[in-house]
């Protein structure tokens, strides 16, 4: 499995993985917006198929936030990143791929865009992702956002300071 920066050529494969792995889906235009605005911020995990083609088995889609609207109590604008989506295909899970994707993306978001912290939302029932964020990557819980998801499930809003890097 190889981990590398995502390019516009990967967006279709990222969207396919997202459709397979998560109920929160996005238009190709939204993927393109990420890739064109923050070309260094998103990563893919790939494998070589028997026919020699590259197949995407995981991705992290990330962006910078343009404002502090996600935190009404925040003072002046602080550059910060947001993890829009992350997933790994089922047969490739528990091999450390998600942790690697995230660490690489976070490093790039700091180096390329000056991100001082990163935020994300996760379903409160999502044990695997919560373990990854809280235990492996040391994110902190900021608050619970009630009925954040379309089906009414609550979200954990989480945040990680990037001043001391991962």
Non-local CB neighbours of 161 within 8 Å, separated by 6+ positions: 116, 117
Which of 1, 99, 141, 166 is in the footprint of ligand ACO by CB under 6 A? 99
Give 51 or 91: the residue with its C-beta nearer to ligand ACO.
Answer: 91
The least distance separating ligand ACO from the CB of residue 13, rounded to whole angstroms, comes to 15
Q: Does 135 bind ligand ACO (CB under 6 A)?
A: yes
Q: Does 122 bind ligand ACO (CB under 6 A)?
A: yes
- Number of other residues whose CB lies within 10 A of the CB of residue 19: 12
- Tell me the residue nearest to ligand ACO as measured from the CB: 98
Q: Which range touches ligand ACO (CB under 6 A), out of 34-42, 67-75, 131-139, 146-154?
A: 131-139
Pairing relationship of beta strands 80-88 and 117-123 according to DSSP bridges: parallel
Distance of CA 71 to the CA centre of its chain: 19
Exposure pattern of 27-57 as b/e (b: 16+ CB <10 Å)? eeebbeebbeebeebbbbbbeeeeeeeeebb
Q: Which range touches ligand ACO (CB under 6 A), out of 6-14, 30-38, 120-128, 140-148?
A: 120-128
CA distance 68 to 113: 16
Binding site for ligand ACO (CB under 6 A): 21-22, 83, 85-88, 93-99, 120, 122, 126-129, 131-132, 135-136
């Amino acid at each position: 499995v190889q981990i590398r920066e995502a390019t516009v050529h990967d967006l279709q494969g990222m969207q396919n993985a997202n459709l397979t792995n998560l109920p929160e889906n996005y238009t190709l235009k939204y993927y393109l917006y990420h890739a064109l605005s923050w070309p260094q911020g998103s990563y893919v995990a790939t494998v070589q198929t028997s026919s020699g083609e590259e197949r995407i088995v995981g991705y992290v889609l990330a962006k910078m936030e343009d404002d502090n609207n996600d935190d009404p109590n925040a003072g002046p604008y602080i550059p910060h990143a947001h993890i829009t989506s992350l997933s790994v295909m089922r047969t490739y899970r528990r091999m450390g791929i998600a942790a690697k994707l995230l660490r690489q993306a976070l490093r790039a978001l700091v180096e390329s865009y000056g991100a001082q912290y990163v935020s994300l939302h996760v379903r409160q029932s999502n044990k695997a992702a919560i373990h990854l964020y809280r235990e492996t990557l040391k994110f902190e819980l900021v608050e619970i956002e009630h009925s954040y998801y379309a089906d009414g499930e609550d979200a954990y809003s989480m945040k990680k300071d990037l001043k001391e890097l991962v």
